[in-house]
Amino acid sequence: MSNQNDNEYILEFENVTKKFGGLIAVNNFNGYLKNGELLGLIGPNGAGKTTLFNLITGIYTPNIGKILFKKQKINSKKPHEVTQLGIARTFQNIRLFKEMTVLENVLVSQHLKLKNWIWLFKSVLKTPDVLKVEKEMQNEAWNLLEEVGLAVYANDKANSLPYGLQRKLEIARALATGAKLLLLDEPAAGMNPHETSELMEFIKHIRQEYKLSILIIEHDMKVIMGICERIYVLDYGKKIAEGSPEEIQKDPLVIKAYLGEELAI
């Protein structure tokens, strides 16, 4: 793909294919995410959406093709390297340290920013520079919790929070890694309509506040059509449509893929 403005794209896919044995889970996918964009990824069950997230985050390596983050090829990066580059994700099933407090959950993610073994060694010895950095991290964690409205729960165990707030905490943990690209895998799953509306506002808010680019997989069309600027539709691993929410809702191939399901807002 040739792009006119190199700085415009934070993420690019060039002919990306992932096979599992004879099954082509992602089939020659081409696409991009612009800086600051909120991009939706939709498609029926088994379409290849989560596989694409796993390819971006280094869980899988493409059989063919390239994935670029800020123009750097990330195909063969390990998951922790991808995190350190500035990509964070949430999962379909919430993954928190359930017995830890809300604050501790954020602190653990912040430590992913500390890159090397020397720091790990110093941490054990509690050298003055480590104590200084840990103090700064505590402050940053508090600020983050204030920002996302979870500070009042800082000392509560993660699993004592209502479901909607656990989701928020999961996103806060992703932000704590210092990510600039956020991948959200079905963030509205299991939420009631009130929680879903709050989540939509929250996603828009953090995008602006943290200058994020966001790629979101979601089955709840109200969320996708309500907050995304652009949408890719996958079916059987292939991109069958792309466009604005209005264009996607009218697209005959999309309607066919979702036969019998509600696509409208």
State which residue, 175 or 218, has the beta carbon closest to ligand ATP.
218
The minimum distance between CB 47 and ligand ATP, in angstroms, equals 4
Contact 163/192 with Cβ under 8 angstroms? no
Q: Which residues bind ligand ATP (CB under 6 A)?
A: 20, 23, 25, 43, 45-51
State which residue, 53 or 153, has the beta carbon closest to ligand ATP.
53
Distance spanning both ends of the chain, measured CA to CA:
33
The minimum distance between CB 26 and ligand ATP, in angstroms, equals 7
Largest distance between two CA atoms of the chain: 63
Q: What are the beta bridge partners of residue 87?
A: 181
State which residue, 137 or 189, has the beta carbon closest to ligand ATP.
189
The total number of residues written for the chain in this structure: 265
Separation CA 223–CA 195 (nearest Å)? 11
State which residue, 206 or 228, has the beta carbon closest to ligand ATP.
228
Q: What's the Cα-to-Cα distance from 102 to each of 27, 33, 108, 237, 244, rounded to whole Å?
A: 40, 31, 10, 37, 37
State which residue, 31 or 43, has the beta carbon closest to ligand ATP.
43
Token pair in block for residue 1:
């793909």
Per-residue buried b or exposed e for 161-173, using 16+ beta carbons within 10 Å of the residue's own CB = beebbbbbbbbbb
State which residue, 51 or 177, has the beta carbon closest to ligand ATP.
51
The minimum distance between CB 4 and ligand ATP, in angstroms, equals 31
Separation CA 242–CA 232 (nearest Å)? 4
Alpha helices in 12-127 (DSSP H): 49-56, 79-85, 102-111, 117-125
Contact 78/137 with Cβ under 8 angstroms? no
The minimum distance between CB 39 and ligand ATP, in angstroms, equals 15
Contact 106/153 with Cβ under 8 angstroms? no
What SS3 class is residue 104?
helix
State which residue, 48 or 164, has the beta carbon closest to ligand ATP.
48
The minimum distance between CB 91 and ligand ATP, in angstroms, equals 11
Contact 196/237 with Cβ under 8 angstroms? no
The minimum distance between CB 123 and ligand ATP, in angstroms, equals 35
The minimum distance between CB 202 and ligand ATP, in angstroms, equals 22
